[in-house]
């Protein structure tokens, strides 16, 4: 029997319920990119806030392309469970925050209507790194942006809100990009500059794009997970997400209008997100990508196996403590050494089954903020990063297909570059395909090309 409002009586009593009047809540948030991460993170916080008495923050979820999530959630009245898994066991919560799921391709008009609706105050995003359509120099790639992207989907209802004299919106990027809010604002500016320049001044004055640091490890749910969960909770939940107990959300407190009381349920509202965001991207995500490419090369499938390998663990420790941490200006109360210790423990969680191949996806979009910024900062101080160089060599081998088909929006060109005579020059540096953030020295380039042989 499938999870839904009609079948709630059959839900195991051990599952925590949201307990607020769901039908009476207006939808205050439109979320673009409603994948597993959003459901285990921002929607979960919003659910907790509404359970604590906050109102009218129901979420309209939007999938940009695939109908999968809509098919998983709509027959369940938007209901799903979040299960925290660790050695200590399973702990499930029923989440009621998501009202409906729309698919932009096919329901574009409805998505635009929801964003233009006066009850909507926030448009949040988890569209992954590639969803921002950035060129290697960080500017907006119009060829991508004009081929059906989030920008048009936001620009049109913004125009309607402006013309109707409605309030602006908060655009809340929850993706793993450095300065994600600032980048979104700049890219949106570029888009409007070309397509609706008359809206620019209003956008800049009436809308805000706060930066956020989001953190929760959420492996893709498998059929085996769903079967095991059904046996525990008594209902089949096709939209279930399984995650770790840890969760963190740091948000720049710069909203254009009202916001949920997320700070009352664990999120941190701060004036400067940068120290948290930089530490998370260079340490957690940087170590993750290293574990992915080097772990796969060692024949591992899961993160906990790779971190358990006595050859790899010291390398991850060195990446965290000797290469990444020294490049980060810690904020008040931030302890990077303790953070490194906690990360290694989280990676070792044996109950998560987080696949390395999932992290290995979209390397061309991830590595600039995870590794290249660290490399550039160390280079400026004359310091070497042997572990990250080893990671880059493993990525180049990955691009050649040694771990199977490559999942990356630029897989074909990247594969050709990786097979060429000088992969480092083709991928990095001033003319590199990936990013110009880091210009490798000749010594570094030779070392990587040799390791990648
Ligand atoms: C991972 C992230 O898939 C990946 O690239 O590094 O999804 C990571 O699990 C999250 O950022 C953790 O907050």
Task: Report the pLDDT averaged over residues 143-156.
Answer: 96
CB 289 within 8 A of CB 367: yes
Greatest C-alpha distance within the chain: 66
CB 410 within 8 A of CB 364: yes
Query: Which helix (DSSP H) or strand (DSSP E) does residue 411 occupy?
Result: helix 411-419
Whether pLDDT at 157 is above 90: yes
Query: Which helix (DSSP H) or strand (DSSP E) does residue 60 occupy?
Result: strand 58-63
> At residue 148, what are phi and psi to the nearest 5 degrees?
90, 75
Determine the number of helices (DSSP H) and then strands (DSSP E) in the chain.
Answer: 21, 11
> Would you state the pLDDT for residue 436?
87
Note the helical H segments in 243-325. 274-279, 286-297, 303-307, 313-318
Question: Ligand 1 atom 11: the closest Cα is on which residue?
Answer: 215
Task: Report the pLDDT averaged over residues 424-449.
Answer: 92
> Would you state the pLDDT for residue 344?
98
Handedness of CA 304, 308, 311, 312 (dihedral sign): positive
With 0-12 CB in 10 A as exposed, 13-18 as middle and 19+ as buried, what is 66? exposed
* DSSP bridge pairs for 132: none
CB 185 within 8 A of CB 219: no
CB 103 within 8 A of CB 63: yes
Q: Does ligand 1 lie within 6 Å of residue 282's CB atom?
A: no
- Which of 376, 374, 373, 418 shows the shortest CA–CA distance to 394? 418
Provide the residue ranges of all domains of the chain, joining segments of one domain with +.
Answer: 5-270, 274-451
Question: Ligand 1 atom 10: the closest Cα is on which residue?
Answer: 217
Whether pLDDT at 199 is above 90: yes
> At residue 426, what are phi and psi to the nearest 5 degrees?
-70, -30
pTM for this model (two decimals)? 0.97
Q: What are the E-state strand segments in 174-275? A: 212-215, 241-243, 248-252, 268-270
CA angle 86, 88, 94 (to 5 degrees): 70
> Would you state the pLDDT for residue 429?
83
Handedness of CA 142, 146, 151, 155 (dihedral sign): positive
CB 231 within 8 A of CB 220: no
- CA–CA separation, 150 and 64 (whole Å): 8
> Would you state the pLDDT for residue 349?
96
Q: Which residues contact 448 (CB under 8 A, 6 or more apart)?
A: 389, 392, 393, 396, 423, 424, 440
Q: Does ligand 1 lie within 6 Å of residue 437's CB atom?
A: no
Q: Does ligand 1 lie within 6 Å of residue 36's CB atom?
A: no
* DSSP bridge pairs for 173: 125
Condensed to tens digits (0 to 9), the pLDDT of residues 135-144 reads: 988 999 999 9
> Would you state the pLDDT for residue 367?
97
Task: Report the pLDDT averaged over residues 358-383.
Answer: 97
CATH of 274-451, one of 1.10.510.10, 1.10.1040.10, 2.40.40.20, 2.60.40.10: 1.10.1040.10
Question: Ligand 1 atom 3: the closest Cα is on which residue?
Answer: 359
Whether pLDDT at 286 is above 90: yes
Q: Does ligand 1 lie within 6 Å of residue 427's CB atom?
A: no
Length of the chain: 453
Distance of CA 250 to the CA centre of its chain: 14
C-alpha torsion 374→379→384→386, nearest 10: 50
Question: Ligand 1 atom 1: the closest Cα is on which residue?
Answer: 359
Closest atom, ligand 1, to C-alpha of 288 = 6
Task: Report the pLDDT averaged over residues 252-264.
Answer: 98
Radius of gyration for the chain, computed over Cα atoms and rounded to the nearest angstrom: 22
Query: Which helix (DSSP H) or strand (DSSP E) does residue 193 occupy?
Result: helix 180-195
Handedness of CA 193, 65, 240, 351 (dihedral sign): negative
Residue 24 or 233, more confident:
233
Ligand 1 test: best mutation among 38, 176, 247, most atoms within 8 Å of CB? 176
CA of 432 to the centre of ligand 1 (A): 25
CB 121 within 8 A of CB 167: yes
Whether pLDDT at 192 is above 90: yes
With 0-12 CB in 10 A as exposed, 13-18 as middle and 19+ as buried, what is 73? buried
Condensed to tens digits (0 to 9), the pLDDT of residues 93-127 reads: 999 999 999 999 999 999 999 999 999 999 999 99
Q: Does ligand 1 lie within 6 Å of residue 216's CB atom?
A: yes
CA of 196 to the centre of ligand 1 (A): 35
Which CATH number is associated with domain 5-270? Answer: 3.40.50.720
> Would you state the pLDDT for residue 133?
97
Task: Report the pLDDT averaged over residues 208-223.
Answer: 98
CA of 48 to the centre of ligand 1 (A): 23
Q: Does ligand 1 lie within 6 Å of residue 285's CB atom?
A: yes
- CA–CA separation, 442 and 424 (whole Å): 10
Whether pLDDT at 173 is above 90: yes
pLDDT over 90, % of the chain: 97
Task: Report the pLDDT averaged over residues 303-314.
Answer: 98
What is 374-407 written as a DSSP string? HHHHHHHTT---HHHHHHHHHHHHHHTTTTSS--
Condensed to tens digits (0 to 9), the pLDDT of residues 69-85 reads: 999 999 999 999 999 99
CB 109 within 8 A of CB 97: no
CA of 359 to the centre of ligand 1 (A): 7
Q: Does ligand 1 lie within 6 Å of residue 288's CB atom?
A: yes
């Amino acid at each position: 029997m499938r999870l839904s409002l009609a079948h709630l009586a059959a839900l195991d009593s051990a599952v925590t319920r949201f307990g607020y009047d769901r039908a009476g809540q207006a939808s205050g948030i439109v979320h673009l990119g409603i994948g597993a991460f959003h459901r285990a993170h921002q929607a979960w916080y919003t659910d907790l806030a509404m359970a604590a008495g906050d109102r009218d923050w129901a979420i309209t979820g939007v999938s940009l392309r695939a109908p999968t999530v809509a098919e998983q959630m709509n027959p369940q009245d938007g209901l799903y469970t979040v299960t925290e898994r660790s050695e200590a066991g399973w702990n499930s919560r029923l989440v009621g925050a998501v009202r409906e799921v729309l698919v932009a391709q096919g329901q574009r008009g409805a998505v635009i209507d929801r964003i233009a609706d006066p009850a909507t105050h926030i448009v949040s995003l988890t569209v992954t790194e590639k969803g921002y359509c950035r060129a290697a120099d960080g500017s907006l790639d119009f060829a991508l942006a004009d081929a059906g992207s989030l920008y048009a989907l936001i620009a049109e209802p913004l125009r309607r809100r402006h013309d109707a004299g409605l309030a602006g919106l908060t655009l809340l990027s929850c993706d793993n990009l450095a300065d994600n809010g600032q980048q979104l604002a700049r890219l949106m500016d570029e888009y409007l500059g070309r397509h609706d320049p008359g809206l620019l001044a209003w956008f800049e004055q009436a809308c805000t794009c706060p930066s956020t640091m989001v953190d929760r490890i959420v492996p893709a749910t498998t059929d085996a997970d769903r079967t095991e969960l059904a046996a525990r909770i008594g209902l089949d939940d096709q939209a279930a997400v399984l995650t770790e107990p840890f969760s963190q959300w740091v948000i720049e407190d710069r909203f254009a209008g009202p916001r949920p009381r997320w700070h009352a349920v664990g999120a941190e509202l701060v004036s400067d997100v940068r120290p948290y965001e930089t530490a998370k991207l260079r340490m957690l995500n940087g170590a993750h990508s290293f574990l992915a490419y080097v772990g796969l090369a060692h024949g591992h499938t899961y993160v906990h196996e790779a971190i358990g390998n006595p050859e790899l663990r010291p390398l991850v420790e060195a990446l965290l403590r000797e290469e990444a941490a020294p490049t980060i200006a810690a904020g008040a109360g931030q302890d990077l050494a303790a953070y490194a210790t906690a990360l290694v423990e989280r990676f070792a969680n044996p109950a998560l089954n987080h696949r390395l191949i999932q992290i290995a996806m979209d390397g061309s979009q991830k590595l600039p903020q995870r590794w290249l910024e660290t490399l550039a900062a160390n280079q400026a101080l004359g310091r070497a990063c042997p572990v990250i160089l080893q990671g880059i060599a493993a990525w180049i081998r990955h691009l050649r297909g040694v771990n199977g088909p490559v999942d990356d929006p630029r897989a074909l060109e990247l594969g050709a570059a990786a097979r060429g005579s000088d992969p480092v020059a083709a991928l990095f540096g001033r003319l590199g395909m990936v990013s110009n953030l880091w210009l490798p020295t000749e010594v570094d380039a030779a070392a990587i090309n040799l390791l990648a042989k």
